[in-house]
Structure 1
Amino acid sequence: MKTNRQNSNMEEYKVEKTTELLPFLLETFSNRSRNAVKSILTRGQVYVNNQEITEHNYTLQPGYSVTVQKNKAAKAATFEKMKILYEDDAIIVIEKDSGLLSIATEKERSLTAYKQLMEYVQQSNPNDRIFVVHRLDRETSGVMLFAKSEKIKKILQEGWSEMVQERSYVALVEGIVKKSEDTITSWLKETKTFKMYSSKKAGDGKKAITHYKVIKANNNLSLLSVYLETGRKNQIRVHMSDIGHPIVGDKKYGAKANSIGRFGLHAIVLAIKHPVTSELLRFKSNIPTEFLKKK
C-alpha cells in the first residue's frame, strides 16, 4: 500500500503481509517489466526501514516501510571519463568528459561511452541494450542522451527537432569576438576527407543555424554561450572558424594554440520532452574549470 508520505524523489510503501522484496516490488510496480524492477534493486534505489537493500529475497514483514528513490544513478557503477546524470526505463543521460569517444571507431573500439553503458545495463539483464540517439565529438564534453530501446531511439531521432527544447554549449574561442551576440547561418558540406565546410549558397548542403552570445573576453580568448537551432556535424566548430574565432585546441578548423590543455567546447544544457511521458526534462552541466582559469 502506498502511503501519503513522499517527496519529489521518494515514494514510500507499507508492507501488509509477509513476502520477499522482489515479489513485493513486482506487484507494486506491475506496470513495469521484471527486468526494470530488478534494475531498481541493483542500482540501490530501494530502502527497507531506511536501510538500503539490494537482495531480491530479502524478507519483508507486515508494517515494514519500503521506500523507492526515483531516477537514481547507480552508486555501484564506476565509469571512466563519464557519469550518469539521469536514468529511467526509457533513457540514460550522461555527462561525458573531453577525450572520451561517444561510440567506437575503426581505430578504437574499447573505451567509449556506448560500451561502458552497454556493460552497465547488461549487469541487470544480459539482453538489455542501449542505443545512440546523438553524438558528441570525442574532445567535446558535456550532456549526452542514450535510448534504452530501439523504439525509443526512433521516437527521439524522428521527433528530435520538436522534442528538444534547448540545446546549448559553452565555447572558448581564440581572439576577442567583437559582436556581443550574433546568428551564423550557412549550408554545411563534407569533403572527401570528412572535414565539414560552409557554403553561403542556399540549399547547397545542410542548413545550419548557430546563435552565440559573448559571456566574457580577455587574454585574447572569448567565452561564448552557443545555442544550436540545428544540429549538424561539427556545426559549432565550422561556424566559429567561419567568423575567424576557432575553438581553442581545434587545429582541424584553424586553431593556432591550446592554452587550456583540452578542446574548448562543452555541451552545457539539454532540455527535452520525455519520449514516453512528454514531461520536460532539463539537464545541465557546469562550465569546465579550464574554461574559466584564463578568463
Structure 2
Amino acid sequence: MMEYIIDSSFNDARLDRFLRKKYENTPLTEIFKGIRTGKIKVNGKKSKENYRLKEGDIIKVLISGGETEEKKLMKISEKDMDSLKKGIVYEDEKVVIFNKEANMVMHKGSGHDYGLSELFKSYYKTDEFNFVNRIDKSTSGLVIGAKNLNVTRELAQEVREGNTDKKYYILVNGIVSKNEFTLKTYLKKEDTKVVELESYEPGAKESISYFKVLKRGKKNTILEAKLETGRTHQLRVQLSSLGHPIVGDGKYGKAGKSMFLFSYYCEIPKYKLKIELPLPEKYLERLD
C-alpha cells in the first residue's frame, strides 16, 4: 500500500490527474477502476476521479506496481543556499518558517524549473519536506514548511480547520475612508483571473476578509488584513473591486516592480508558535 499526503502544490488538482502523475506506468483504465472499486481512497473513503484535492488530504492506494520513480533531489547552488539561510526566521525539528521575497515561486512549473519547495527538499535532503500553505509569486512574507509527512498531515489539518492565524500588511491605491471593515464576497476562477460576483453562482466560493487602516498618506493607504477564508487572489480581487487595488498588482491593478502585499504574521497555537515581522520601510516610503 502507498500513502500520499497532499501539499499545497496539488491543492485543487483533480484526483485522477494526481494519480496519473504518480502512476505514469499504470494504464488509466486501471487507475479509474481502483477509484471505482475503493482500492484508491481519499481520507479513508471512496471518491470520484474528478474530486478536487485539498491540502492535507490522505490518499491510500492499494493497486500494486507502476509507481513513478521519485526524481533525484536537485543540486542546490551556493547562492540559493545563502538565500534560504537568510530567509529562515524560525526553525525547529518539525517546522520551518520562511520569509519569502516577492517574485519567488513556491513550486516548479509555469516556466520555472524549480521553486522554494524543491530548494528546501534539497536543503534538508528529504523529499518529505512540504509547504502547508502558499502565497502568490508576487506576494512576499511568511510561509510554513513541514519537515516530514507526519508534521505535514498535522499542520495541513490545522490550516484546513482554520486553527492557524495569518495577517498581512498591504499598501493600496487611494485613501480608504473606513477605519475597519469586512468584505464578504463570492469569488470565482475564470481563465487566468479570479472575478468577484454580486451573488452566488455554481463554482463560486464565499470569501471573507477583515481589514483595518494602519496609516493614511496623501495618495495611498496602509492596511492590515486577516483572512477567514483563503481563496486564490482573495485580497487582491476584493481590494481591486473595492476601488483600492494593491500597489504594484499588475493583474488586478497597475503593474510595478513589486506588489505591496506582505504576510507579516503567523501563529500556530498547537505548536505554541507565533512569528511577527515589522512593517517594511518601503511601505512608509510609498505612502505619498
- TM class by shorter chain equals 0.5 to 0.7
- 1:82 Cα shift? 5.6
Whole-angstrom distance in 2 between the partners of 1:80 and 1:98: 14
1:156 aligns with 2:155: yes
> For the structure 1 residues 222 and 81, does the alpha-carbon distance in structure 2 shift closer, same or farther, using more than 3 Å as the test?
farther
The counterpart of 2:94, out of the listed 82, 86, 90, is 90
> For the structure 1 residues 79 and 249, does the alpha-carbon distance in structure 2 shift closer, same or farther, using more than 3 Å as the test?
same
User: Aligned ranges for residues 44-83 of structure 1 at < 5 Å?
Assistant: 78-79=82-83, 83=87
Whole-angstrom distance in 2 between the partners of 1:173 and 1:128: 39
User: Aligned ranges for residues 200-219 of structure 1 at < 5 Å?
Assistant: 200-202=198-200, 204=202, 205-219=204-218
Q: Tell me the TM-score normalised to structure 2 length.
A: 0.66
State the Cα RMSD in Å: 2.0
1:281 aligns with 2:273: yes
2:158 touches 2:164 (CA, 8 Å); kept in 1?
no
Partner of 1:230: 229
Whole-angstrom distance in 1 between the partners of 2:285 and 2:172: 14
Greater fraction helix: 2
Higher Cα Rg, which structure? 1
Partner of 2:187: 188
- 1:158 Cα shift? 2.6
Q: Amino acid of the residue matched to residue 265 of structure 1?
A: L
Q: Amino acid of the residue matched to residue 216 of structure 1?
A: K
Partner of 1:13: none
> For the structure 1 residues 165 and 118, does the alpha-carbon distance in structure 2 shift closer, same or farther, using more than 3 Å as the test?
closer
Whole-angstrom distance in 2 between the partners of 1:94 and 1:187: 30
- How far does the alpha carbon of each residue in 1:188-226 deviate from its partner, in whole angstroms, 9 at most, with x for none? 1101x2311112324651111011011111231111011
Partner of 1:266: 262
Greater fraction strand: 1
1:96 touches 1:144 (CA, 8 Å); kept in 2?
yes
> For the structure 1 residues 266 and 228, does the alpha-carbon distance in structure 2 shift closer, same or farther, using more than 3 Å as the test?
same
- 1:157 Cα shift? 2.0
> For the structure 1 residues 257 and 86, does the alpha-carbon distance in structure 2 shift closer, same or farther, using more than 3 Å as the test?
closer
Whole-angstrom distance in 2 between the partners of 1:116 and 1:213: 35
Question: Secondary structure, in 3 states, of the residue corresponding to 1:250?
Answer: coil
- How far does the alpha carbon of each residue in 1:219-278 deviate from its partner, in whole angstroms, 9 at most, with x for none? 31111011111111110001101110000111211x2364xx4211000101013xxxx3
The counterpart of 2:197, out of the listed 185, 196, 199, is 199
Q: Amino acid of the residue matched to residue 195 of structure 1?
A: K
Q: Which has the larger displacement, 129-138 or 154-163?
A: 154-163
Whole-angstrom distance in 1 between the partners of 2:141 and 2:244: 21
Whole-angstrom distance in 2 between the partners of 1:289 and 1:207: 34
2:101 touches 2:140 (CA, 8 Å); kept in 1?
yes
Question: Secondary structure, in 3 states, of the residue corresponding to 1:291?
Answer: helix
Question: Secondary structure, in 3 states, of the residue corresponding to 1:109?
Answer: coil
User: Aligned ranges for residues 30-41 of structure 1 at < 5 Å?
Assistant: none
Whole-angstrom distance in 2 between the partners of 1:81 and 1:245: 35
Whole-angstrom distance in 2 between the partners of 1:163 and 1:85: 23
Whole-angstrom distance in 2 between the partners of 1:142 and 1:219: 26
Quote the sequence identity (%). Answer: 30
Whole-angstrom distance in 2 between the partners of 1:118 and 1:184: 37
> For the structure 1 residues 282 and 81, does the alpha-carbon distance in structure 2 shift closer, same or farther, using more than 3 Å as the test?
same
Whole-angstrom distance in 1 between the partners of 2:138 and 2:85: 11
> For the structure 1 residues 186 and 169, does the alpha-carbon distance in structure 2 shift closer, same or farther, using more than 3 Å as the test?
same
- 1:80 Cα shift? 5.6
- 1:153 Cα shift? 1.7
> For the structure 1 residues 288 and 105, does the alpha-carbon distance in structure 2 shift closer, same or farther, using more than 3 Å as the test?
farther
> For the structure 1 residues 270 and 95, does the alpha-carbon distance in structure 2 shift closer, same or farther, using more than 3 Å as the test?
same
Q: Amino acid of the residue matched to residue 188 of structure 2?
A: K
Partner of 1:35: none
- 1:184 Cα shift? 0.3
Question: Secondary structure, in 3 states, of the residue corresponding to 2:208?
Answer: strand
Q: Tell me the TM-score normalised to structure 1 length.
A: 0.65
Q: Amino acid of the residue matched to residue 215 of structure 1?
A: L
Whole-angstrom distance in 2 between the partners of 1:131 and 1:257: 31
Partner of 1:27: none
Partner of 1:56: none
Whole-angstrom distance in 1 between the partners of 2:91 and 2:84: 18
Whole-angstrom distance in 1 between the partners of 2:84 and 2:91: 18
